Amino acid sequence: MFKIRKNIPNHQLFYFDTCPFCIKVRFALWKMGIKVKMKDILLRRENKAELIAGGGKKQVPCLRIEKSNEIEWLYESDAIIKYFQNLPTV
């Protein structure tokens, strides 16, 4: 089914295709009609390096949230889904 999805800027989801926790998050985002920038850590080694350097570990999914003057790295699929469910703009 085709669905128009709202782009949420300043958010990036680090993931890889076959990771079941990433699939869970991506499906939840699809159901909520949300689109964020996706960064595959297996396809591009610079994405994996960015995740480890910024977030501190290579676990996915991880959501990079860019706020006015700080960057937050949110791990754990359930926490990421909950974050989007509570986002006022959604």
Ligand X SMILES: N[C@@H](CCC(=O)N[C@@H](CS)C(=O)NCC(=O)O)C(=O)O
SS3 percent helix, strand, coil of the chain, rounded to 5, is 35, 30, 35
- Which 4-43 residues touch ligand X, going by CB under 6 A? 19-21
Q: Determine if 83 is a binding residue for ligand X (CB under 6 A).
A: no
Q: Which is nearer to ligand X, 6 or 57 (CB)?
A: 57
Of 77, 72, 85, nearest to 32 by C-alpha is: 85
Figure out which of the listed residues 32, 35, 76, 83 binds ligand X, where binding follows CB under 6 A: 76
Rule CB under 6 A: which residues touch ligand X?
19-21, 57-61, 76-77
